[in-house]
Amino acid sequence: MVNIVVTATANYVPEYDLYNLDLDAVRLVSTTSSAITAAFGDFSLTLTGSFQYDFNGALTQSSVVRGFSFQYSGSQIVTATGFSLSGYDLSRYDFATLITREMAGADTFTSAWNSGEYIETLGGNDTIRAGSGNDTIDGGTGYDTVMVRATGNEWSIAWGYSRGVEVSSPDGEDTLLNVERVQFEDQTALIAEGGAGNDRLISTQTVIGNSLWDMMNGRGGDDTIQGGGGRDFLIGERGNDLIKGGANHDYISGGDGNDILHGQAGNDKIRGFSGSDTIYGGAGNDTLYADFENSVDSDSADRLYGGAGKDLLVGQRSADYLNGGIDKDTLRGDAGQDTLLGGNGWDRLLAGADNDLLRGGNGRDYLAGHSGADVLDGGAHADRLFGGGGNDTLKGGTGTDLLNGGSGNDLLFGGGGNDTLLGGTGRDRLLGQAGDDQLTGGAYADTFVFHQGYGNDTITDFSVGQDRIQIGRGADGLDDLTFNTLGDDIQITFADVTILVENTTLAELENADNFLF
Q: Are residues 416 and 348 in the same domain?
A: yes
3-state percent helix, strand, coil for the chain, nearest multiple of 5: 5, 40, 55
CB atoms within 10 A of CB 180: 19
**Partners of 176 in beta bridges:** 137, 165
> Three-class SS of residue 88?
helix
Q: Are residues 386 and 348 in the same domain?
A: yes
The amino acid sitting at 371 is S
pLDDT number for residue 423: 98
Mean predicted confidence (pLDDT) in 341-364: 95
pLDDT number for residue 45: 84
Helix (H) / strand (E) containing 161: none
Q: Are residues 383 and 466 in the same domain?
A: no
Highest mean pLDDT among 36-40, 82-86, 192-196, 488-492: 488-492
> Three-class SS of residue 19?
helix
Q: How many CA atoms lie within 13 A of 441 on its CB side?
A: 22
Report how far residue 370's alpha carbon sits from residue 391's, in angstroms, rounded to the nearest whole number.
10
Q: Specify whether the CB–CB gap between 179 and 191 falls below 8 A.
A: yes
Report how far residue 258's alpha carbon sits from residue 275's, in angstroms, rounded to the nearest whole number.
5
Q: Specify whether the CB–CB gap between 505 and 483 falls below 8 A.
A: no
- Do the domain assignments include residue 242? no
pLDDT number for residue 9: 62
207, pLDDT greater than 50: no
186, pLDDT greater than 90: no
pLDDT number for residue 507: 92
pLDDT number for residue 320: 94
- Do the domain assignments include residue 237? no
Q: Specify whether the CB–CB gap between 377 and 359 falls below 8 A.
A: yes
Q: Are residues 419 and 450 in the same domain?
A: no
Between residues 193 and 52, the one the model is more confident about = 52
Q: Specify whether the CB–CB gap between 127 and 118 falls below 8 A.
A: no
Instruction: Choose the weakest-confidence range: 91-105, 168-182, 362-376, 418-432.
Output: 91-105
Helices (H), 448-501: none
Q: Are residues 465 and 410 in the same domain?
A: no
pLDDT number for residue 41: 78
Q: How many domains does the chain have?
A: 3
- Do the domain assignments include residue 111? no
Q: Are residues 409 and 481 in the same domain?
A: no
Which of 363, 395, 426 is the C-terminal boundary of a domain? Answer: 426
Report how far residue 453's alpha carbon sits from residue 445's, in angstroms, rounded to the nearest whole number.
25
Q: Which domain holds residue 95?
A: 3-102
Q: Specify whether the CB–CB gap between 415 and 396 falls below 8 A.
A: yes
Mean predicted confidence (pLDDT) in 351-372: 95
Q: Are residues 18 and 96 in the same domain?
A: yes
Q: pLDDT above 90 covers what percent of the chain? A: 52
What would the pLDDT profile of 485-513 be if each residue is shown by its tens digit? 999 999 999 999 999 999 999 999 988 89
Q: Please choose, from the candidates 217, 251, 223, 219, the residue with its C-alpha nearest in 3D space to the C-alpha of residue 235.
A: 217
Between residues 500 and 150, the one the model is more confident about = 500
> Three-class SS of residue 506?
helix
Highest mean pLDDT among 110-119, 141-150, 425-434: 425-434
What would the pLDDT profile of 100-140 be if each residue is shown by its tens digit? 666 776 778 787 767 777 888 877 888 988 888 898 989 88
379, pLDDT greater than 70: yes
Q: Please choose, from the candidates 259, 220, 219, 214, the residue with its C-alpha nearest in 3D space to the C-alpha of residue 241.
A: 259
Which of 69, 102, 135 is the C-terminal boundary of a domain? Answer: 102
Mean predicted confidence (pLDDT) in 9-17: 63
What would the pLDDT profile of 234-250 be if each residue is shown by its tens digit? 988 899 999 998 888 89
**Partners of 350 in beta bridges:** 332, 368
pLDDT number for residue 208: 46
Q: Are residues 415 and 471 in the same domain?
A: no
What would the pLDDT profile of 83-102 be if each residue is shown by its tens digit? 888 877 777 766 667 666 66
Q: Are residues 455 and 417 in the same domain?
A: no
64, pLDDT greater than 50: yes
Which of 102, 136, 157 is the C-terminal boundary of a domain? Answer: 102
pLDDT number for residue 205: 60
170, pLDDT greater than 50: yes
Report how far residue 323's alpha carbon sits from residue 303's, in angstroms, rounded to the nearest whole number.
8
- Do the domain assignments include residue 315? no
- Do the domain assignments include residue 247? no
- Do the domain assignments include residue 492? yes
- Do the domain assignments include residue 219? no
Report how far residue 143's alpha carbon sits from residue 128's, in angstroms, rounded to the nearest whole number.
11
Q: Are residues 17 and 94 in the same domain?
A: yes
Average pLDDT score, the chain: 88
Mean predicted confidence (pLDDT) in 352-371: 95
Q: Are residues 94 and 8 in the same domain?
A: yes
Between residues 67 and 321, the one the model is more confident about = 321
- Do the domain assignments include residue 65? yes
CA dihedral 131, 132, 134, 138 (to 10 degrees): 10
Q: pLDDT above 70 covers what percent of the chain? A: 91
Q: Are residues 382 and 458 in the same domain?
A: no
